[in-house]
Structure 1
Amino acid sequence: MYIIKSQQTMTSSPPRRRIVGVSTKMYFSVARTKQYVDELLQILSSASNTDLLKTIDIFIIPDHVTLTSVIAQLKHSPLPVLPGAQDAFYEDTGAYTGEVSPAVLAEVGCRIVELGHAERRRIFGETDADTARKSTAAARNGMVPLVCIGERSRADGQAGVNVAVDECRTQVEAVLSALPGAVEVILAYEPVWAIGAAEPAGAEHVVSVTQALRNLDCVRSREGNTRILYGGSAGPGLFAQLKDGVDGLFLGRFAHDPAQFYKTIVEVATA
């Protein structure tokens, strides 16, 4: 069973351990995934600030086909880099053709499972209930659910913040009500309208929304650690503007260049 340890406790409120990671979605071939991970590990191996980088969590979420080979590559990393999966089914075994067993993911060394992404909801019709069931499956197999949340439509000012918090509250409550209170959860706040956009959501909006989510009763009352990431056209130069609301970044295409990924890792560690 794998649990990512954090600095958060029930009796004090030290800074939560920061975290940054990337999903390759379905952009890479097998060869490109191997090259990407090799290049990133070379950069990490030559880094002079490895002690600093050990203070944060780093993760990579490749496609399912290359996951086991990425896990093998990461065993040679000079820093702990956590491998993740882009989805998992809510049952461990059975006649579920084409689905991916969370028990098998855990068996091969997967540490994080991304769930409820806006693309899964839009293309495949996944619901909050589906995400909750999948989250409990990941957790019971010792993996950390990384649950994507976010509002569909954009609105400006406080009205936009209110809309975002209302939509996200429903998504968060559905998942957290299904999970044991001691389980670690990562919430990835990704406004749907910002995914794939030229620019991320405004810093003031993100900080206001994520601070409000942090103060939800279902989050504050949990014994287990709950970290919040920002995703949605996230990249280098962003985290310093968001650090009052989030614990890290969930990166997409901007981190498909290993050098840019490394640059963002350093920024998250030092901001």
Structure 2
Amino acid sequence: MTQAARPLAAVSLKAYLGHAETARWLAVVRPVAAARPAVEVAVLPQLTSVPEAVAVLGDVCAVGAQSVSVADPGAATGEVPAAVLAELGVRYGEIGHAERRAAGESDDLFAAQARAAVGVGVEPLICVGEDPRTDPVDAAVRCVRQLDAVLAGVAPSVPVVVAYEPVWAIGAEDPAPATHVTEVADRLRRWAQHRGRTVRLLYGGTAGPGTFAALHPHVDGLFLGRRAHDPAALADVLDEMARTVRAGEDS
């Protein structure tokens, strides 16, 4: 992460909240994010709440979509083309989450989603991670294999966000050990440099208060889930991220 770059805190609401609950959450989170401009916040609600999120947060936060369709406008019943996401104001499109892999989606599909997102100006947020638990070297090899497959059709000059989420840490009691994450992150950073890619690297997998301080400067931010669904906990994470980056710049 460059000195001028803000850390990124991306928050997926998954399918935990209904539309009315999401609207209330957005209203509470708006002043939380607005008061902490040192951190970029991106919110990824359910697709049906994307317009609400853009309307409420659009001037203080980025908005993302939890999936990207590969369908073109036309005869594609039930699909929401990537062009519509861009029209709505979506900046980030999540691709390759472990829960989508568990549902049977493949790297070939994720590669098509990445191309569709980039084609309409939506920045891919690509999730990678190993399952089952393994050592950091093998974990990085597995993640690189996923990244090379998903980004095969995306030019190296296109900026992407990569969220390292070890599958065994998603929904666990604690995040993956910092020693494991930092080694994987450093290897992914070297992969990006070798490929000439511009990458912002996040950690996800039971991330919450305390996680960023343990991982910085090896990662550029966090991909948050249920622990950020409490706005007070999200505020704590954003404050910690800002303090950590500021302390690193002052040292």
Query: Is the 8 Å Cα contact of residues 185 and 201 (structure 2) preserved in structure 1?
Result: yes
Q: Secondary structure at the match of 1:65?
A: helix
Residue 194 of structure 2 is aligned to residue 214 of structure 1: no
Structure 1 alignment gaps of length 5 or more: 1-6, 9-13, 48-52
Which of 145, 148, 159 is matched with 1:170 structurally?
A: 145
Structure 1 counterpart of 2:97, which letter? Answer: H
Q: Secondary structure at the match of 2:203?
A: strand
Equivalent position of 2:39 in the other structure: 56
Equivalent position of 1:129 in the other structure: 108
TM-score w.r.t. the length of structure 2 is 0.92
Equivalent position of 1:150 in the other structure: 129
Distance 2:228 2:219 in 1: 18
- Between the two proteins, the alignment pairs up a number of residues equal to 244
Percent of paired sites with the same residue:
42
Equivalent position of 1:17 in the other structure: 6
Q: CA deviation at 1:44?
A: 4.0
Query: Is the 8 Å Cα contact of residues 90 and 137 (structure 1) preserved in structure 2?
Result: yes
Distance 1:32 1:132 in 2: 33
Distance 1:105 1:71 in 2: 11
Query: Is the 8 Å Cα contact of residues 22 and 45 (structure 2) preserved in structure 1?
Result: yes
Structure 1 counterpart of 2:42, which letter? Answer: F
Query: Is the 8 Å Cα contact of residues 16 and 227 (structure 1) preserved in structure 2?
Result: no
Equivalent position of 1:65 in the other structure: 48
| Runs of 4+ with deviation above 6 angstroms | none
Structure 2 counterpart of 1:37, which letter? Answer: L
Deviation string, structure 1 residues 60-106 (Cα, Å, up to 9, x no partner): 0000011111111114x5xx300000001123323332222100000
Q: CA deviation at 1:223?
A: 5.2
Which of 215, 220, 227 is matched with 1:247 structurally?
A: 220
Which of 193, 198, 204 is matched with 2:168 structurally?
A: 193
Query: Is the 8 Å Cα contact of residues 87 and 100 (structure 1) preserved in structure 2?
Result: no
Query: Is the 8 Å Cα contact of residues 33 and 61 (structure 2) preserved in structure 1?
Result: no
Q: Secondary structure at the match of 2:175?
A: coil
Equivalent position of 1:231 in the other structure: 204
Residue 114 of structure 2 is aligned to residue 116 of structure 1: no
